[in-house]
Amino acid sequence: DAGVTQSPTHLIKTRGQQVTLRCSPKSGHDTVSWYQQALGQGPQFIFQYYEEEERQRGNFPDRFSGHQFPNYSSELNVNALLLGDSALYLCASSLGARWKLFFGSGTQLSVL
């Protein structure tokens, strides 16, 4: 049973560029959430997708957008990258919106 998978594992971009991160949820899960984790801090909620719609959003600018596909996989897009966007981006899935959350290994994004 595959867990939550994310790609790529590492990514280097320059300021102003755009990036797309990908996530496949754990088998049987229908809800995907994205979190940003800066070095030395706890993860921060970006948004959550269920039934292909953004259901909840944290305190992140519109430069952060996402999508969920019919197979429940998801993408996170970040436009106009800033140095401060450098972080570990974590995808998490759950069965339904309120139950135990399972995380992927993350994508380490470095913005130069």
Partner 1 sequence: GIQVEQSPPDLILQEGANSTLRCNFSDSVNNLQWFHQNPWGQLINLFYIPSGTKQNGRLSATTVATERYSLLYISSSQTTDSGVYFCAVDRNNAGNMLTFGGGTRLMVKP
Residues near partner 1, by CB under 8 A: 31, 33, 35, 41-45, 48, 50, 55-56, 58, 88, 90, 92, 94, 96-103, 105-106, 108
Name the minimum Å distance from CB 57 to partner 1: 9
Judged by beta carbon, residue 78 or residue 94, the one nearer partner 1 is 94
Q: Which is nearer to partner 1, 42 or 84 (CB)?
A: 42
| C-alpha span between 52 and 60 (Å, rounded) | 19
Select 7 or 105, whichever has its Cβ closest to partner 1: 105
Contacting residues for 111 by C-beta, under 8 A, at least 6 apart: 12, 13, 14, 15, 17, 81, 82, 83, 84, 85, 86
Distance of closest approach, residue 79 Cβ to partner 1, in angstroms: 23
List 61's β-bridge partners, or say none. Answer: none
Write out the two tokens for 26.
């754990």
Smallest gap from residue 6 Cβ to partner 1 (A): 11
Question: In angstroms, what is the minimal distance from the CB of 77 to partner 1?
Answer: 20
CA distance 110 to 112: 6
